[in-house]
Amino acid sequence: MRTMARRESLGRDELEALVALALDEAKSLGADAAEAAASQDSGLAATARLGEVESLEYTNDRGIGVTVFKDSRKGSVSTTDLSPEAIREAVAKAVSFARLTAQDEYAGLADPQLMCREVVDLDLDHPWDLDADAAIGLAIESESAGLGNDARISNSEGATVSTNRGSRAYGNSHGFVGSYTKTSHSITCVLLAEEDGVMQRDYHYTSARRVDDLEKAADVGRKASEKTVGRLGARKIRTTRAPVLYVPDLARGFIGHAIAAIAGGAQYRRSSFLLDAAGEKLFPDFLDIRERPHLPQGMASVPYDSEGVATWDRDIVAGGVLQGYVLSSYSARRLGLTTTANAGGAQNLIVPGTGRDRDALTSDMGTGLVVSELIGQGVNGVTGDYSRGAVGHWVENGEVAYPVHEVTIAGNLRDLYRRIAAVGDDQDTRSGIRCGSVLIEEMTIAGA
């Protein structure tokens, strides 16, 4: 049995006490307002490659961040030393920094009446009693299943098993103090296949709050093998215009570009291709984007945002029409609006399917491209111009014909969002955006 020295983790009550200490110190030093956030994270990650242990990492991180406001000026400090003396010193520095920064009329805490009144239990805390030997064993099991699944699997970049448990406490001088604990677990396997001297690489992973919701380690390896072998024999195609189908883990990023464009920062900086778009019809009638921050065990569930504002359910897009932006209190003030409890980002976005699975959407394409990997960062958030390298499979007569590579898919996001033909029911629940496959009526596909 491998053992590692562990420093004792702090509980929620202890973190809340540290936050209260920081707030009391800020008040005693004359701050007009203050907020503090303390965290404790512990975790284990084991990676095996070709049957041997490649890395073993244990983490136990903690810290506190303090922000004070004085005469519309802001000072912020963070420290990993959680002794009372270090916290008092950090607060004193934050107060001194606030005397030096420029005044900002929009700075300050969120409005007191918006504070979370009850920190609801969202069922986020499901620890995995996993020691180093067990983690290594699962990583080796996952990789072995992948390596043995097909003779064309020639190498591996390894399999990783990880678990993390973290507690967060936040408080401010409105009198709000809250905390919660959340866990996340994952298994990942990355493999290489070779045929006729050409190598291909792919991976598969599973992640969840509860270990019982993870795919089996061996299944992760086998799926990684199938996806990798499925890339062998990839061809180039001629430049054309055709339908494009994003698989779910890429579709969520495609939707995510719209969320980034309606974030408050992009709006008040006037740097968004969806500038002032609230009330506009951006998507087809059937498309909704629902925010559900209280989803039990959701990967982005939170009872309150990073300013202590109570979160609530809302529809960001309904019937294709943008209902509003994604705002913190600061960005809301800059825009003359009210915070949407999104300090820290959007929480559990759900894009409902339109009643068809991925096979049905592939059949609906007729001739087109199923995209399974995107390469590069060719997205202009100001203009909406979109150009990404892509890997996937070519579809003919509604059926997958062969793998393709070295192509680029392009268009403008405003136009592409209107061209969404369907959303699959194969919803991916591994992240904060739950979306199935997304079929685009037509895109430019640049090839040979």
Q: Residues 192-204: pLDDT tens digits?
A: 999 999 999 999 9
**Token pair listed for 352:** 């409902």
- Domain 12-229 matching CATH 3.30.2290.10: the answer reads yes
pTM above threshold 0.75: yes
Domain segments of the chain as ranges: 12-229, 240-253+353-446
User: Do 214 and 186 form a contact (C-beta atoms < 8 A)?
Assistant: yes
Report residue 58 as tokens: 């244990």
Rounded CA-CA distance 262/173 in Å is 30
Whole-number Å distance between alpha carbons of 112 and 114 = 5
Residue 3 has pLDDT above 60, yes or no: no
119 secondary structure, DSSP code: -
Give pLDDT, residue 1: 34
Q: Identify the bridge partners of residue 244 per DSSP, sorted by sequence position.
A: 369, 440
Give the residue among 24, 18, 9 at the shortest CA–CA distance from 37.
18
- Give pLDDT tens digits for 139-185: 999 999 999 999 999 999 999 999 999 999 999 999 999 999 999 99
Instruction: Output the average pLDDT for the chain.
Output: 96
Whose CA is closest to 140, among 123, 170, 117, 161? 161
Alpha carbon distance, N-terminus to C-terminus of the chain? 55
Q: What is the pLDDT of residue 7?
A: 57
Joined together, the tokens standing for residue 394 give 């070519």
pLDDT tens per residue across span 29-73: 999 999 999 999 999 999 999 999 999 999 999 999 999 999 999
